[in-house]
Amino acid sequence: MREAELLFLAAVLLYIYEGLFVLPTSTAVVQRVWRRWKRVDPLVLRGGRGPALALGALLPPLGPTVPVAVMGSHDVAAVTDAIALTVRATRHLRFAESLLFIAIFGGGAAMVWFDQAPDVPILLAIAWLWVLCVASSLDARREVPETQRPPWKDLIIACASPLSALRLHDLFFKRACPDADITAALLALAPPHVAREGLRLALAKARYSGDGPLPALETMAADWGYDAGMLDAEPERGGPEDLAFCPICLAAFSRVDARCNTCHDVAVRAFKTT
C-alpha cells in the first residue's frame, strides 16, 4: 500500500474516532437519520462501570446525535424547543460540514487514486471550506442561548483541523438538552411507534425493576394518550416452546421460573394463553 493510501486510511480512521461520544453510564442517546429520530443504546465498557461509547452519524447530512439522560426532566415541550433551536442555529454549519466532507474524502480519494486529479484546487477547496465551517460555528454559537453554547476551549480544539471541524455540530447538540429524560426526548422527536415503545420500556423498567419514577411516567403516558395498561399486553409467542416472557425487554423464555439477565435478573411472566 502506498504512503498516500495509508494517509487516506489514517484520515478515515481519525474521522471515525472524532465521531465517538464518550458518555457517562447515566446517559442515553437519540439520533436522527435523515428525518427520523431513533434511540441508540451506547456501548458500556468495563462490565457496566463505564464509560459508555456512542458513534455519531458519520455523514454530516444524515443528522445530529443528541445525548440525553436515562432519567431526567419530563418536559417534552422544552426538548422540542431546544432541538428545534439547535437545528436552526446549526443549519449553515452542517451544510458547510457536508461540503467539507465531500472535499476531504471525495477530493482526497481522487488525489490518491487518479493521477490527473487537480491537487492544488482540491487542497484550496478544503482550506476554504474549513474556514467556512469555523466561521459558521461562531455564528451558531451566537444564535443559541448561553446555556447551550459550547465552551471556547472545546470549540477551539474542534476548529484545529479540517477533520475535527467536520464534527463541530456535535458540540452544540451535546448541550441542547442533556438533562432531558430519554422518554421525553422520544415523545418530542421520534415517530409515534418509536415513542410508544420507548414509553412502554420506561414504564416497564419503573414498575418491574424500580428503575425510574413510575407516577411521573404514568402521568406522561396519560397526557399523550397512551394507556398505561400497555404493560399488561403480552408479546406474540414465537412458538409452543415459549412459555414465558420478560416484562421489560419482552424476550421469550422456555421456562416460567427463569429470570432475565439482560434486564438485571427480572423475573419472567408466564403467558396467559397456552
pLDDT at 1 over 60: no
3-state secondary structure of 236: coil
List pLDDT tens digits, range 52-97.
888 888 876 667 888 888 777 888 888 889 999 999 999 999 999 9
pLDDT at 99: 95
| pTM of the complete model | 0.79
Q: Using alpha carbons, list the distances in angstroms from residue 76 to 72, 111, 186, 262.
A: 11, 48, 9, 29
pLDDT at 132: 96
Q: Which three cell numbers stand for residue 234?
A: 403480552
pLDDT at 72: 79
* Domain extent listing, the chain: 3-174, 191-230, 234-274
- Candidates 41, 86, 60; CA nearest to 177 is 86
- Candidates 184, 193, 244; CA nearest to 217 is 184
